[in-house]
Structure 1
């Protein structure tokens, strides 16, 4: 981890809808950034390691990060992907737990603002929307986890995969003339973890999508070619 190069900050920048920074006032965003330290992470550096001491949170400025956790058998499972404007490490702050509950690794290069828990809650006294937005973000994550558990018992792997791909495209996609490319490299095992299915089932569904012209895939690369058709699948059609 290193100190990020100082660059001009525009408090009125537009952040992805639903991200933590998108829910703050311009004044609160500026206060948070001013109180934080800019840090950068290379592809082989971890933002957090599961079990490490927790004393600060990070707000992603650029890049993408993968959140994973280990099972009792030691197998790592991909839990989520965090984007610019997202906050990570907030649960340890809210629960006042001393250790990290997950590992967070960069998908490429990541820059972020590091803010200690102590400084964050002191800021929240003068900027109440910092705390309010944090609780909304945590609630949204918990709601998403609940929906995912319900969908496992309600919808097929095909439907769940279509929904995950559309969600990833909305938050991580870059538009090209012939489709939407996902700007994060995901293995079939990682996709399977996001869908809560076996890699074999996900591979089968991906083949169906490719054959139908909805998707183009290569090694750790995905492109949505027919969003309308994929949306029909996501709706159970």
Structure 2
């Protein structure tokens, strides 16, 4: 359900993550008019579904999402996880319809940014057009990274890369560099990383036994970030 906008983009503490920086007061005023509504999505609810018409991009204010597609065997394949300060919905730009489902994995709130208004405003605020291009480019780079991850890495390397990426993104939002709450299930992680649930659980246990991480339910603490980094980027001469 749409809710009236109560906090302008210019006053939002996530502005620098999802909006261009260095705008004039006049440009900020125009950006404030871009976000007409907010939507709250309950855990398990869909922000949009595969095949739905594409009309808006969404800036995540609070909560976590997963994007997924249905594989040929009918199972859901997780294609990404998105958090506060990130933009979701870019998949719909090419063919004017969404190509995946976006599901809230915890209660969430998004700012709705109609794409026709973004296009209009981009003509007046050059930084906005540049910013949208940067977001799209970042998404392409991310997908390329996932392909490399799935194509060439062992299970331990995949999970290490995933945890390092997650904590890095959370740290950019002011959270701890070493502690996090895993919003997604191990099954969802496995789907994203191309690993079976048993493999994910076994790898978590191995990391814990080796003193690299500490896990209590969904609370995870990284004890040895260097060890995770060495798994992802082994020193020269080591396989």
TM-score (norm 2): 0.83
TM-score (normalised: structure 1): 0.83
Change in 2 beyond 3 A, CA 1:219/1:168 = same
In structure 1, what is the equivalent of residue 224 of structure 2? 226
Out of 23, 28, 34, the residue aligned to residue 26 of structure 1 is 23
RMSD of Structure 2 on Structure 1 (CA): 2.5
- After superposition, residues 4-83 of structure 1 pair within 5 angstroms as 6-7=6-7, 9-11=9-11, 13=13, 19-21=17-19, 23-27=20-24, 28=27, 30-36=29-35, 37-83=37-83
Q: Confirm or deny: 8 A CA contact 1:69 1:79 kept in the other structure.
A: yes
Alpha-carbon distance in structure 1 between the residues aligned to 2:3 and 2:12: 23
- Of residues 199, 203, 225 in structure 1, which corresponds to 2:197? 199
Measured in 1, the distance between the counterparts of 2:108 and 2:31 equals 18
Report if aligned partners of 1:151, 1:160 keep a CA contact under 8 Å in 2.
yes
**What's 1:147 paired with?**
145
Q: 1:15 to 1:224 in 2, by over 3 A?
A: farther
- Aligned runs of 1:172-187 on 2, under 5 Å? 172=170, 174-175=175-176, 179-182=178-181, 184-187=182-185
- Residues 4 and 42 of structure 1, relative CA distance in 2, 3 Å threshold: farther
| Mapped pair 1:115 → 2:116 | no
Residues 202 and 13 of structure 1: CA distance in aligned 2, closer, same or farther (over 3 Å): same
Give the Cα separation in 1 of the matches to 2:158 and 2:74.
26
Q: CA deviation at 1:29?
A: 5.4
Q: Pick one of 154, 161, 180 that aligns with 1:156.
A: 154
Task: Give yes or no for contact 2:157–2:231 (8 Å, CA) kept in 1.
Answer: yes
SS in structure 1 of the partner of residue 67 of structure 2 = strand
Answer whether contact 2:106 2:183 (CA < 8 A) is retained.
Answer: no
Aligned counterparts of 2:61 and 2:29: Cα–Cα separation in 1: 13
Structure 1: gaps (5+ residues): none
Q: Report the Cα distance in structure 1 between the residues aligned to 2:43 and 2:153, rounded to whole angstroms.
A: 35
- C-alpha distance after superposition, 1:70-107 (max 9, x if no partner): 112221122111122211112323x2x23211111223
Residues 4, 234 of structure 1: alpha-carbon distance in 2 compared, 3 angstrom cutoff: farther
The verdict on how the C-alpha distance between 1:3 and 1:70 changes in structure 2, with shifts beyond 3 A counting, is: same
Residue pair 2:61, 2:85 contacting (<8 A) in 1 also = yes
C-alpha offsets along residues 3-45 of structure 1, whole Å, 9 cap, x if unaligned? 15614654474557xx442x44434555333221222222243
Aligned in 2, Cα 1:32/1:81: closer, same or farther, shift over 3 Å? farther
Query: Is 1:20–1:134's contact at 8 Å kept on the other side of the alignment?
Result: no
Structure 1 pair 153–35 and aligned structure 2 pair: CA distance change class (3 A):
closer
